[in-house]
Amino acid sequence: MVRAPCCEKMGMKKGPWTPEEDQVLIDYIQRYGHGNWRALPKQAGLLRCGKSCRLRWINYLRPDLKRGNFSKEEEDTIIRLHEVLGNRWSAIAARLPGRTDNEIKNVWHTHLKKRVKQNPATPDTIRQSMKIDECNEHVEIDSNPLKLSTHQLFQRPGCIPLSPQQQSSSDLSSSGTDSSIVTTSEYLNRPMKDDQSVDDDENVWWEELSAEKQANLEYSEANPADTQLQFPSSSLVYRPHNDESMDFWLNLYMEAGEWPELPEL
């Protein structure tokens, strides 16, 4: 059964909000909060659906919104984050205080997309990323939608190197020109021996690979920043196993303006 959109209810108003409606919504939320968006309009006396109220509050009425034009720094930040995160506007907005995902999406489509297209070399990150790609073993080319955030992140450090032991023990067929280099994709697609079960779900392989390698990683739960310094070897596979560690890498990237190099022993 398909649920009817909430706004199709008779009597629900659509279109631009009036100042009076805005004030009703502000007054209500300031007094009672917004625990249940669906119930809110009825309780507040608004002829709007909950979805419309939520959108209006989040994108326009929230007191912590910055408003006004984006600064050059904010635009650069969006470009860099977009390169890493793609169209994940809410994730980008989470790193730009006072800005909404809708606002960022609009500014991307109206200004920044053109800017990047006209001058693709302008964001230094592109060059920097290429530089990193060149100096490391290989670039992760796998794309798994379910792991997109992690994968996109690590397409830049990209370089998720496999240990030499891993390469020699997994009986890999090398399709590349350099047999000492194995991408994660090649690992995941490696031919199976008879006694190895083949799982169609790449996620499983990916998870197994990660779990296997995380065991060798001295990861500090208490202080993720320590993790960077605790690679037993730069040839180990590492994958952030939660959002916190992903944020750690992303913050490093944002602060430094480039991806940190994996430490060598």
Helical (H) or strand (E) element with 174: none
C-beta separation of 123 from 83 below 8 A: yes
For position 25 contacting DNA by CB under 7 A, the verdict is no
Per this entry, what is the length of the chain? 265
Indicate the residue among 111 and 131 with the shorter CB distance to DNA. Answer: 111
The label of the residue with tokens 């279109």 reads 15
Give CA–CA dist 17/82, Å, rounded.
31
The label of the residue with tokens 């240990």 reads 163
Give CA–CA dist 9/14, Å, rounded.
11
- Which of the stretches 10-18, 131-139, 193-201, 232-240 binds DNA when contact is defined by CB under 7 A? 10-18
Reading the block at residue 51, the tokens are: 């979805």
Which of 11, 16, 19, 63 lies at the binding interface for DNA (CB under 7 A)?
Answer: 16
* 212-241 residues near DNA, rule: CB under 7 A: none
* 59-98 residues near DNA, rule: CB under 7 A: 59-60, 69, 87-91
Specify burial of residue 94 (Cβ count, 10 A radius: 0-12, 13-18, 19+): middle
For position 5 contacting DNA by CB under 7 A, the verdict is yes
Indicate the residue among 59 and 168 with the shorter CB distance to DNA. Answer: 59
CB of 23 to DNA, least distance (A): 13
DSSP 229: G
Which of 15, 19, 45, 63 lies at the binding interface for DNA (CB under 7 A)?
Answer: 15
Give CA–CA dist 178/176, Å, rounded.
6
Reading the block at residue 181, the tokens are: 């280099």
Give CA–CA dist 247/253, Å, rounded.
10
Which of 26, 54, 83, 214 lies at the binding interface for DNA (CB under 7 A)?
Answer: 54
Indicate the residue among 112 and 236 with the shorter CB distance to DNA. Answer: 112
For position 3 contacting DNA by CB under 7 A, the verdict is yes
* 100-119 residues near DNA, rule: CB under 7 A: 101-103, 105-107, 109-111
Which of 37, 228, 234, 241 lies at the binding interface for DNA (CB under 7 A)?
Answer: 37
Which of 50, 123, 157, 161 lies at the binding interface for DNA (CB under 7 A)?
Answer: 50
Reading the block at residue 82, the tokens are: 């977009």
User: Which residues contact DNA by CB under 7 A?
Assistant: 1, 3, 5, 7, 13-17, 35-39, 50-52, 54-56, 59-60, 69, 87-91, 101-103, 105-107, 109-111
